[in-house]
Homo-oligomer: A and B are copies of this chain.
Amino acid sequence: MKISCRRDQLQYAVQTVQKAVASKTPLPILTGIYINASNGRLELQATDYEIGISCIIDATVDEPGTTVLSGRYFQEMVRKLPGEIVEISSSKEDRTIKITSNNAQFNLLSFPAEEFPVLKPINSENVLKIQDTILKELIKKTIFACANDEARPIFTGGLLEVDNENISMVATNTHRLALKREHLPSTGVNIKMIIPAKILHELARILASDEQREVGLSWQKNQVGISFDNVYINSRLIEGQFPDYNKVIPETYSTKIKINTEQFLDAVERVSLLAREGEYNVVKFSFTKDTVVISSNNPDIGKAFETVPAENSGNDVEIAFNAKYVIDILKNIMSGELIFSLNTSLSPANIKPADDENYIYIITPVRTS
């Protein structure tokens, strides 16, 4: 192998595949980054068998070849290389890979490339193309509601649901549920799949740049492939039946309250300072006609209260929630005003942006004595 490429492009490729490099694994080869050079292109790959990522960049290929280098060292090295151009070549004498840039030279030991489980892109007729902005929005507005607890795997992923012209993502840990819908041009596609939250986080990270692009999704059995630009991501899907979340969403609410999002968030964060240590991080909300009084009480530390103006078109209600579940949605609402919809102090409530009917967040109250 003998190639040269731009350092910034190589760094972009290494960063893109980096999160699929396994850190704790009995298989050393999975701690490596696979590098394949041919036909004017350099492909990097990494996989931990849960997620696999490939990224292709331009390169001047004098001699094609394949190798696997330590993901950790290759990444740190590329980040620190001094020049604009990086040359990579293999030496037959000592099985090392020589990497040079300006006056710096690294001779890294390589793994045997034939041991690397090269990604097999999904070859399927099940294909959906969507704008990355739509996909990022679906992920960002829901995925924080997933469970971290591996004991119930189904809740550690986001349910992606496509029904011809509608796409939605749903995430829940059974105490709160986030649902975001978007409209699509007619797709003819009808599919439900549960994608692990970890992969959705990575996808949102890799898609973070501002340039707009189309993302291709393809699926078969328990796998999904995601492709855009020069990147391909392969992920397992979570198997099992996602519960019927529509049953959890109340059909009507007896009380709807409009509140300034920022004021409310600041106040809940302040009041919750004293609640965090408690078992359920409980903050109380007392809604009256014009205000909501937010309060917490921790017998070991003290009490906190704060009053925020609110427009209540229904009944007075007292209700308590896990403060974290309320703060999470307030940070994601991205709208100046929110609607807090309630029935009784023991039934699920809904918090949504005042100006978006396609974002729903259901939260179960905490029973207080």
Smallest beta-carbon distance A288→chain B, Å: 14
Q: A104-B306, A302-B106, A304-B104 are in contact. Are A73 and B273 (CB under 8 A)?
A: yes
Q: Which of B107, B267, B300 makes the CB contact (< 8 A) with A103? A: B267
A109 close to B (CB within 8 Å): yes
Partner of A81, one of B77, B108, B270: B270
**Interface membership of chain A positions 84-115, coded 1 if the CB is closer than 8 angstroms to chain B and 0 otherwise:** 00000000000010000001111111000000
Q: How many residues of A contact B (CB 8 A)?
A: 31
Instruction: Name A304's closest neighbour in chain B (CB-CB).
Output: B106
**Is A76 touching B273 in the complex (CB atoms < 8 A)?**
yes
Interface residues of A in 261-280 (CB under 8 A from B): 266-267, 269-271, 273-274
Tell me if A303 and B107 are in contact (CB < 8 A).
yes
Interface positions of A from 130 to 187, Cβ below 8 Å from B: none
* Residue of chain B at shortest CB distance from A80: B270
Residue numbers in B under 8 Å from A267 (CB-CB): 82, 103-104
- Chain B residue numbers with a CB within 8 Å of A70 are 301
CB <8 Å contact, B274 and A82: no
- Contacts A103-B306, A103-B308, A104-B271 supplied; 9 other A-B pairs, CB < 8 Å: A80-B266, A82-B266, A104-B306, A105-B304, A106-B274, A106-B302, A106-B303, A106-B305, A107-B304
Which residues of A (303-354) have their CB < 8 Å from a CB of B? Answer: 303-308
Residues of chain A at the chain B interface (Cβ within 8 Å): 70, 73, 76-77, 80-82, 96, 103-109, 266-267, 269-271, 273-274, 300-308
Whether B73 pairs with A301 at a CB distance below 8 angstroms is: yes
Q: A273 touches which one: B80, B109, B301, B306 (CB < 8 A)?
A: B80
CA distance A109 to B77 in the complex (A): 53
Q: How far does the alpha carbon of A73 sit from the alpha carbon of B302 in the complex, in Å?
A: 10
Cα A81 to Cα B271 with chains together (Å): 10
A281 to chain B: closest CB distance in Å? 15
Residue of B nearest to A271 (CB): B104
A80 contacts across to B, CB distance below 8 A: 266, 269-270, 273
B270, A82: Cβ atoms under 8 Å? Answer: yes
